[in-house]
């Protein structure tokens, strides 16, 4: 290994550690103290990390990616052990399954339990959760019984990065410290994004369709993405099947308690009486939930080449030329993946 290569790997390591500490500080102070801009800052940082790496002349050497992901993994484990508190999804998501297995509808019956949340700097906090499942029915069953959901989420994150390892900038986007931090906090988005990555990158044919069907039963963002994907491809059959599979997952619960299912699985209200009381999901929620930013980051990682190609070939679309020039300018000509 040449001195230049060793220096490059060292600088990549310094970047990851420094960036991770900054993210941890933002997450700690904004979520613990309730400072509003936190989710927005974290989301934007995900794009800035890739732009900064590219503009600073970062190498596409796989060894650099290994250092970035490896250090991210170490920092993720440290975050779990030393404490974090961005979400309670790691505790609530797997518990909904037990409510259903006990013969109760998790959309109309609250799941109640007590758990210990380790906050930053090893502050132990006993909490009582009284929540309704506001995801699609399959998500709660996507777990490894007995394994802390945060470690399961970290495993899903690593799986995503592995699937796109031959596309450097895709792997860099998904393998960056922000994804490691979110995985360490146990956000359930990582599980669904792994299924979508399997469906649209990792697998082909029958296995791809199976992964896609599983994603349609997990979290609503996946259903929206798959539907729009087929819409852009003008694949009417794909759009119809997406709707039918979604309804198939929800049908038993619609029969069980239609109003509660519409409120919690359809509108993500967290309240089975939302149709009477109001207060369902709004666009402002996107800015308030840090994990929602994982989705545009994932789409940018998987489809950035397709987006650039589309913008280049449709210059007459409103704003297309301006957006293409901005993307290529901010990324120093536009990061282009080598390999698949």
Q: Which residues pair with 113 in a beta bridge?
A: 129
Between residues 317 and 187, the one the model is more confident about:
187
Dump the DSSP string for 56-113: TT----HHHHHHHHHHHHHHHHHHHHH---S-SHHHHGGGHHHHHHTT--TTTS-EEE
Scan for tokens 């990682």, then name that residue: 301
Q: For residue range 197-229, list pLDDT tens digits in order.
A: 999 998 999 999 999 999 999 999 999 999 999
117 membership: H or E segment, kind and range: strand 111-119
Average pLDDT of the segment spanning 170-189: 95
Dump the DSSP string for 127-144: EEEEE---S-TTGGGSS-
Q: Label residue 123 exposed, middle or buried (CB < 10 Å: 0-12, 13-18, 19+).
A: exposed
Closest C-alpha among 171, 133, 179, 173 to residue 153: 179
Instruction: Report the alpha-carbon distance of residue 258 to residue 275 in Å, rounded.
Output: 11
Are residues 277 and 271 in contact, defined by beta-carbon separation less than 8 angstroms?
A: yes
Q: Which residues pair with 143 in a beta bridge?
A: none
pLDDT at 91 over 70: yes
pTM for this entry:
0.89
Q: How many of the other CB atoms lie within 10 Å of CB of 330?
A: 14
Buried b (16+ CB within 10 A) or exposed e, 234-254: eeeebbebbeebbeebbeebb
Q: What percent of the chain has pLDDT over 70?
A: 84
178 membership: H or E segment, kind and range: helix 177-185
Cα separations (Å) of 272 from 89, 98, 105, 221? Answer: 19, 19, 11, 20
Six-digit token string for 244:
């039918």
116 membership: H or E segment, kind and range: strand 111-119
Q: For residue range 41-66, list pLDDT tens digits in order.
A: 888 899 889 888 888 888 888 999 99
Instruction: Report the alpha-carbon distance of residue 203 to residue 328 in Å, rounded.
Output: 30
């Amino acid at each position: 290994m040449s001195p230049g290569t060793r220096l490059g790997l060292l600088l990549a390591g310094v970047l990851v550690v420094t960036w991770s500490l900054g993210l941890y500080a933002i997450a700690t102070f904004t979520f613990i103290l309730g400072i509003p801009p936190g989710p927005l800052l974290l989301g934007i940082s995900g794009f800035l990390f890739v732009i900064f790496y590219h503009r600073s002349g970062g190498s596409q050497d796989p060894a650099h990616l290994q250092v970035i992901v490896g250090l991210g993994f170490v920092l993720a484990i440290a975050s779990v052990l030393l404490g974090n508190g961005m979400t309670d999804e790691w505790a609530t998501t797997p518990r909904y399954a037990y409510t259903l297995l006990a013969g109760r509808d998790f959309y109309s019956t609250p799941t109640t339990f007590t758990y210990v949340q380790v906050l930053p700097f090893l502050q132990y906090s006993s909490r009582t959760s009284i929540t309704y499942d506001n995801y699609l029915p399959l998500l709660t069953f996507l777990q490894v019984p007995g394994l802390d959901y945060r470690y399961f989420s970290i495993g899903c994150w690593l799986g995503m990065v592995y699937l796109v390892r031959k596309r450097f900038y895709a792997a860099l986007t998904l393998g960056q410290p922000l994804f490691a931090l979110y995985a360490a906090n146990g956000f359930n988005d990582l599980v669904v994004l792994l299924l979508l990555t399997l469906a649209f990158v990792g697998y082909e044919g029958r296995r791809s369709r199976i992964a896609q069907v599983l994603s349609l039963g997990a979290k609503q963002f996946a259903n929206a993405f798959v539907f729009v994907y087929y819409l852009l491809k003008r694949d009417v059959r794909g759009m119809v099947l997406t709707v039918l599979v979604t309804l198939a997952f929800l049908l038993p619960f619609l029969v069980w308690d239609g109003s509660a299912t519409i409120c919690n699985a359809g509108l993500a209200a967290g309240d089975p009486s939302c149709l009477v009381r109001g207060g369902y999901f709004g666009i402002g929620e996107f800015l308030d939930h840090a994990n929602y930013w994982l989705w545009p980051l994932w789409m940018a990682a998987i489809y950035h080449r397709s987006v650039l190609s589309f913008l280049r070939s449709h210059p007459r679309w409103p704003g297309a030329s301006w957006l293409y020039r901005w993307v290529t300018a901010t990324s120093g000509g536009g990061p282009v993946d080598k390999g698949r």
